[in-house]
């Protein structure tokens, strides 16, 4: 009878782990989708800034307010992007190297890209 109890516990434990991992992967996919949409918006914003700058280069008058609105929009989108990237790092159990910005698995002592020693606080 102990065999069946142990088997049941093992099955329930495996199922519970599967559900948790599936929830984690779903969360990662959702954040990655939001990041993708945000990057597209940011690209459009940068493109608009570039088009205004090119219009100035051609001699057209471009009001400063046009840039101001686009710059503040870009700042807002960049802040949202950083927040989502931080959320994604947390879901993946990663940190960002302070020197090169590479994503590093939590617990590593050195960045695999640049060799920077990672602080204990970052681990």
The pTM (predicted TM-score) of the whole model is: 0.72
| Phi, psi dihedrals of residue 104, rounded to the nearest 5° | -125, 135
pLDDT in tens, the chain (123 residues): 688 888 899 999 999 999 999 999 999 999 999 999 999 999 999 999 999 999 999 999 999 899 999 999 999 999 999 999 989 988 988 888 889 989 899 889 999 999 999 986 654
Contact 31, 87 (CB under 8 A): yes
Which two structure tokens, joined as six digits, stand for 33? 């989708």
């Amino acid at each position: 009878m102990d065999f069946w109890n142990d088997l049941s516990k093992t099955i329930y434990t495996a199922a519970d782990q599967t559900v948790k991992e599936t929830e984690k992967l779903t969360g990662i996919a959702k954040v990655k989708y939001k990041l993708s949409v945000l990057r597209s918006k940011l690209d459009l914003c940068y493109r608009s800034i570039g088009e205004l700058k090119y219009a100035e280069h051609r001699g057209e008058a471009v009001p400063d307010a046009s840039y101001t609105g686009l710059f503040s929009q870009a700042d807002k989108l960049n802040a949202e992007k950083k927040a989502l990237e931080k959320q994604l790092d947390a879901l993946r159990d990663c940190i960002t190297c302070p020197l090169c910005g590479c994503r590093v698995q939590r617990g590593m002592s050195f960045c695999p890209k640049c060799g920077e020693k990672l602080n204990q606080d970052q681990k």
